[in-house]
Chain A
Amino acid sequence: MLRMDMDDHAAIQAVLAGDKEAYAALVVRHSRRLYRVAFRITGNQADAEDVVQEALPRGYRKLESFESRSDFGTWIYRIAVRCALDRIGGSKVDESSRVAETTNREQNGVQVADREAGPERLLLSGEIRAMQQIAMHGLSPTERTAFMLRHLEDLTTEEIAAAMGIEPSAAKQSVFRAVQKLRLRLATLRVKI
């Protein structure tokens, strides 16, 4: 039977004392949040679930290095962000995937090519969010992650930097570049539509 009554600190102490089952309380308490941020970064449910399955055991193995004064939720969140970042950074863009992009100099913008779903169709079907998802694929993993943490998770620049393991200035620049690129691409798409 899972013991959900323990707070994070007590659960950690119990785990380190040899009670493996105490980690269940931490998993149940934090896995949804990890799933959410993983989904924001990876963009799909399967990858998000994989990230959760990877981040929680990693946190368990590193639990001895966890400082008891810190917040476990923030700590494991950062681990999940890095797992998600590794996942999107490590996987190469497939040429046959639904999105590929080239820069069209004449149009001075980004042209999104999608064999199965063109911009017109996306707009016509009212799938504006899908169009944004397409634009998101033009961002680097760092930019995408920084933007998602800023725009959707409402983290500050310092929190983004800590979660991603980068300098605050780099985090700020990543958000800035992401917004610039997204606006440019979305504007291009609007014109094309």
Chain B
Amino acid sequence: MPDQPNSLLRINNLNIHFKLGTKVIKAVDGLNLDINPGETVGLVGESGSGKTATALSILRLLNERNIYFKQGEILYQSPTLGIIDLMKVPTKTLTYIRGREISMIFQEPFSALNPIMKVGKQVSEALEAHQRGKDKGFYRLKVLGLFEQVQFPQPEIIYNSFPHELSGGQNQRILIAMAIACKPPLIIADEPTTALDVTIQTEILHLLQKLKSEINSSILFVSHDLSVISQMADRVAILKNGRLEEFQRTREIFSQPNTAYTLGLLACRPRLEIAMKRLPTLNEFNLNPKKDNVKPQTISKILAKKRFSFSAIEKKRATLSKQKNILIVEDLKNYFRKGRNLFQSSTEIKAVDGVNLHLREGEILGLVGESGSGKTTLGKSILRLIEPSGGQVFFDGQMISSLDFNQMRKIRKNMQMVFQNPYASLNPFMTAGQAIMEPMKAHGILINGSQRKERAKTLLNQVNLPLSFFDRYPHQCSGGQQQRIAIARVLALDPQFIIFDESVSSLDVSVQAQILNLINDLKESFRFSSIFISHDLSVIKFIADRVLVMKNGKIVEEGYPDVLYQNPQHAYTQKLIDSIPQADKKLMIQAS
């Protein structure tokens, strides 16, 4: 299969090295890849594995100035120009190819569109660049046709909209319309659904499949998510540190992974169907490339070891239900006014609309919902980081909604929050050690600096970071390490209650597993209760003792995770469960 003579694109021994300071980073290291006509190839890897560098290098979109060394050939079989090497062709040829024969769909639909241009105009610009000399009506009709093709019910209205007036999913459709405008033989999709909600993601994936068969083009689908890939791709290439780990048919990747790395990637994702005590991590798989003969049974063996037996869950629930409530939220509301101007009255957005909930001591309460469902606003309203419009919050028997600023500041010692984006939540001017000592200083914990320093070091140790991280700045750490620092900073106050706001969603699957295990361990040693906010049902299923489903500011369903997933009562919960890519289910069959 890899050596078919008539492949559409063939990458031979591609090397791309960047230079960062004095360090040379091999972003792509001897990569071989081929894409056949009409085929979808998935390119999977963790962040830093070189998948985006590979995708961008095909159209030579990488900034030449940053490239320290590049080598290899990217042979492309053009229907008009014959076989050309995209590494060597002049820029003029490349301009001809870009958009017309190879087009691209980007990750962030908002930043890929020009905010001050109507989207219809932007799509027609893509057409005008490659089909010159037609009158305006021609382009307009074509764009409207494209909009119909990407399933916009009212293309005329969309044509005259600006990007900010459309949702993320709609913007992604615009980008897709732009990409298929010239019916290119090859579309490169760089994480096209990562920035979108699960339900929207399903729609976009279906749309891509439909369009692919309509215009019969190949897709190079780049993603970090194996389950998304499993739905889309005919063949999957797995990248690790710029090297190709594995490249074979999708079904085989899932049923008979050749390398331990692939196996680890498959195993460390939290699963919907099995309750687990701990998640397997990559380290538990033998990553020695010499011993490649891992049998598929290993995965089920490892999973079986970590299984949480039903009786143990029952027991845990029984003890938890006897605990007293540490947090009670009554009828919490947060309304925003938006869009008031001279000509129109404001519309009221009910971000949080009368939420009641209670959290028992030692419990982890999962809060799940799509973006815009108000779950983050709810979390921040509980902590009064956003002032709620109404309702009451009782923490540890004390009503905190009426406390003044300074009283609230003192209470904050006991109620904490870990944010979604670990890098943004750390001050770039402070080292990890300073960041951890900062809250201790603010609340006068421990007497002097040297004691706080000792404690900070202990905390670093507790979140499994070596002591050398004490003097590191956030940008010198990886995402997982940053999130560990953020967790250590919160734990420095020894809080009774922590809100984790999408705290693992920006991390790689393997890192996500480690952090989730860490949170579970720390919960035992620090004895905090928490609300865990996530859009990812499988993460919630793993970590939470009880789940709340949120939609449009309201709690629509509440229950134990396994009960909820097996027998969802609300249609919205059912929709959320249905939109999870199916790979997990396939894998489950393999595993059990």
Q: Do A and B make up one complex?
A: no
Residues of B within 8 A of A (CB): none
Residues of A within 8 A of B (CB): none
